[in-house]
Structure 1
C-alpha cells in the first residue's frame, strides 16, 4: 500500500511532510521547520516519529529538530556532503544511495543548486518525491550556493522521474511563481489553465503542494528551458538549455 502522506503547514509559507506506513506503524518526517504543528499532527494521529529526513541545512528546514527530539527519538537522516553543517546524523546518504524506510526502498538524489549538498528523497512505490527548495511548484529555489549548471542538472534529474510522481516541495510560493511563469510563456494554454486553478486554491486557503510532475513539465518554466518556444521567446534559440535556465532564474530573481 502507498504511504499515507500528510502536508503540515509551518511558519509563514513552509511545508513539512509526515509519511506513515500502516503495516509497520512507523512514521517519517521530511524537514523540520516548526515543532508545534508537527507535534500536534503526530499527537492527533497517535503516531510516533521514527525518522526525520533532512533535505538541506537552511534554518527553516532544521530548526524544529531539538523540540521534536524532546518528545520522540527519531533517527536523523541527511546528506553526507552536508553533514558538517547539519545536526548530528544517524544515517548519512549520498546521490544514488537507497535506504529501506517505512517498508519501501527510498532513493536519494543530489539536487544541488539552491545549496550544495541539497538532496531529494524519492519513494517510487508511493509515487512521491520530496524536493524541498530544488524543484518547487511552478518554480525552483534561488541559487544561493550552486551554479545554474548544477541546478539545471538537478532539475533534469527530477524531470526524468515517472510523470505520475507527485512533487512535494518545501514552500507555498506557487501563486507568485505562476505570475512570473506567465511572463516567460504567455501563450502556453496549460499554464493559463493551471494559473486559474492555483488562484482558486489560494483564495480557498488550500495548499498547491504537492503537484504532479507531468504538470510541472508542462507549465514550470524552469523545467522547460530546453523548449524551442521558450528559447525563441527569450531570443536564445542558439543557446544551451542551462544558459536559458540561467536567464530565467536571473529574471525571476528580479521579478
Structure 2
C-alpha cells in the first residue's frame, strides 16, 4: 500500500507516517521529528510535498515547520483547526479526497478526542484498506478527552464510524500504547485469551512493529466489546447501555 509507519521515539510514543504519491512524492501525516521524516523520505527517494495533521495537539504537528522549511510542503488540517495549528494552507472537511499512489485518502470527521480531529481512509477502488486514526482509535484502546474533547462524542464517533468498518481494514494509530491498553483490557476482561496472547507477543518483541486490523480490535479492544458480560459485570452499579459502558471504561482508563 506504499505506506510507511515511522516510530518517532518520542516520550509519548508517537507514530508518524509517509504515504507515497506518484512521481516520487509523499504525504507526511503528523510529523513529530522533522529531521527524522526528511531523512526517512530521502532514504526512500521520496520528496514530501504535503503534510496532513490529524488534530491540533502539539505532538502531532511540531515537525511541520522543519518539513515545510526544507521542502515547501503544503499543510492540511481539519477545518475546525483554524487558529490552532500554525501555517495551515488548506482546511479539510468530511469527504474531501487526496490522491495517493494506488488510490486516494478520504477525510473522516471524527470528533471526540478533540473537535478538530480528522481521520483518513485509504481507499483502493471501492474498498477501504486502512485508516489513519490519529488519537481517536489506538490499538486496543481509544483516545482520551482531557484536552478539548468529549467522551460522549467519542463514543458516537467510534460506534458509528469504526464499528462498521470491514474486519480486514488496517488501523494506523497516532501512538504505540498497545501494551498498556492490552493490560487494561485484561484488567476489565481477565478471560480474554486473545488479549493475553497478544500481550505476551508484544512484551516479547518490538510493539512498534505490529500492525492490527478492525477484526483484531473487536477481539481485544475493550471499547469494541461493550456487550461483553465479563466487562459489564465488572462495572459497579447498574449499566443500562453500551454507551454507558464506554463512558465508564473511558473514565477507568483515565486513571489506569
Question: TM-score with structure 1 length normalisation?
Answer: 0.90
Query: Residues 226 and 73 of structure 1: is their aligned pair in 2 closer, same or farther, counting only changes over 3 Å?
Result: farther
**Is the deviation greater in 170-179 or in 229-238?**
229-238
Indicate if the aligned counterparts of 1:167 and 1:209 stay in contact, CA closer than 8 A: no
CA RMSD of aligned residues (A): 2.0
Match of 1:199 in 2: 203
Q: Does 1:147 align with 2:150?
A: yes
Q: How does 1:171-250 map to 2 (within 5 A)?
A: 171-201=175-205, 205-234=206-235, 238-250=239-251
- Which runs of 5 or more structure 1 residues have no equivalent in the other structure? none
Question: TM-score with structure 2 length normalisation?
Answer: 0.90
CA distance in 2, matches of 1:140, 1:6: 19
**Is the deviation greater in 139-148 or in 243-252?**
139-148
Q: Does 1:129 align with 2:128?
A: no
Tell me how many residue pairs correspond in the alignment. Answer: 250
Deviation at 1:34, TM superposition (A): 1.3
Match of 1:37 in 2: 36
Q: Which runs of 4+ in 1 moved over 6 A?
A: none
CA distance in 2, matches of 1:211, 1:138: 9
Deviation at 1:90, TM superposition (A): 2.5
Match of 1:118 in 2: 117
Deviation at 1:191, TM superposition (A): 1.4
Match of 1:15 in 2: 15
CA distance in 2, matches of 1:240, 1:249: 14
Query: Residues 71 and 43 of structure 1: is their aligned pair in 2 closer, same or farther, counting only changes over 3 Å?
Result: same
